[in-house]
């Protein structure tokens, strides 16, 4: 190969390498579609089941077995399965939140994403569902001490998720944790005007489920029933 031919071949190769090193524009891509908003459902307000009137509650109170508290041996909240699915993706907690609030909006997973709730125990208003607890009006531990220790798991599940009676209510987390598992002789709602409803509901649920009361508990319930107009 002549010197000039060798030189021309080298130049051509160098030019090709230079072109290969020049960055090329990325191919055009279609714009990403906008995110699909989560499905929302506006829930119509419903009422907490109303307990029997005061006179009927007094009759029920007189029919309750009075005895000392049962042993807590063997107790666990896991013995009362909750919160169970009630329908679709909605569990018991979400059903109660939807029932007890105003202008409730749920997402596609049935979670309450907005709304207004007023806690009947202390008359405090909330717009964030995370600030609320779902109270078992008869606490699970209290029910164990008064007869639920002998129940089947199915009956304890029904009790812990009861939407038919006044057993479940959305309340402020602070009031629920102050109450803990105390009976009416140990704790009462700070809002005195709710004592009538609270004592009627407590008495009725104990009567429905055949749970016992202690002497101090019975006396406190009678006193609270006296606040009913």
DSSP 116-170: EEEETTTTEEES-GGGEEEEESS-HHHHHHTTGGGS-HHHHHHHHT--SSTTEEE
At 224 the pLDDT is: 98
Q: Provide the pLDDT for residue 42.
A: 65
pLDDT tens sequence across 159-180? 999 999 999 999 999 999 999 9
pLDDT at 1: 46
The whole-number pLDDT of residue 44 equals 60
Angle at 47 between CA 50 and CA 84, to 5 degrees: 95
Q: What is the pLDDT of residues 77-107, one digit of tens each?
A: 999 999 999 999 999 999 999 999 999 999 9
Strand 85-87, strand 112-119: pairing: unpaired
| Residue segments in the chain with a per-residue pLDDT below the cut of 50 | 1-30, 33-37
The helix/strand count (H/E) of the chain reads as 8, 8
| Residue 144 confidence (pLDDT) | 98
- Looking at residue 207, its pLDDT comes to 98
CA–CA separation, 220 vs 227, rounded Å? 11
Q: How far is CA 115 from CA 57, 100, 152, 223, in A?
A: 33, 10, 37, 35
pTM score: 0.81
Q: Do residues 76 and 144 touch, judged by C-beta distance below 8 A? A: no
Kind and range of the H or E run holding 113: strand 112-119
Residue-level pLDDT at 23: 42
What is the C-alpha to C-alpha distance for residues 93 and 79, in angstroms, rounded to an integer? 18
Distances (CA, A) of 168 to 14, 48, 50, 117, 135: 82, 8, 12, 14, 6
pLDDT value of residue 12: 43
């Amino acid at each position: 190969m002549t010197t000039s031919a060798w030189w021309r071949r080298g130049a051509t190769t160098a030019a090709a390498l230079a072109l290969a090193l020049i960055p090329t524009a990325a191919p055009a891509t279609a714009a990403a579609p906008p995110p699909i908003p989560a499905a929302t459902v506006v829930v119509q307000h419903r009422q907490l089941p109303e307990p029997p009137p005061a006179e009927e509650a007094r009759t029920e109170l007189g029919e309750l077995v009075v005895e000392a508290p049962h042993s807590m041996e063997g107790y666990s909240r896991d013995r009362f399965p909750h919160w169970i699915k009630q329908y679709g993706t909605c569990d018991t907690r979400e059903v109660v939140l939807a029932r007890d609030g105003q202008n409730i909006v749920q997402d596609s997973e049935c979670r309450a994403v907005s709304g207004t709730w007023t806690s009947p125990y202390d008359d405090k208003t909330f717009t964030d569902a995370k600030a609320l607890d779902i109270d078992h009006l008869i606490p699970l531990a209290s029910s164990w001490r008064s007869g639920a220790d002998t129940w089947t798991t199915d009956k304890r599940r029904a009790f812990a998720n009861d939407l038919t009676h006044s057993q479940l209510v959305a309340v402020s987390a602070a009031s629920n944790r102050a109450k803990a598992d105390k009976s009416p002789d140990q704790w009462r709602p700070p809002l005195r005007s709710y004592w009538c409803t609270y004592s009627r509901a407590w008495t009725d649920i104990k009567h429905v489920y055949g749970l016992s009361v202690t002497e101090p508990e019975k006396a406190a319930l009678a006193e609270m029933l006296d606040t009913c107009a």
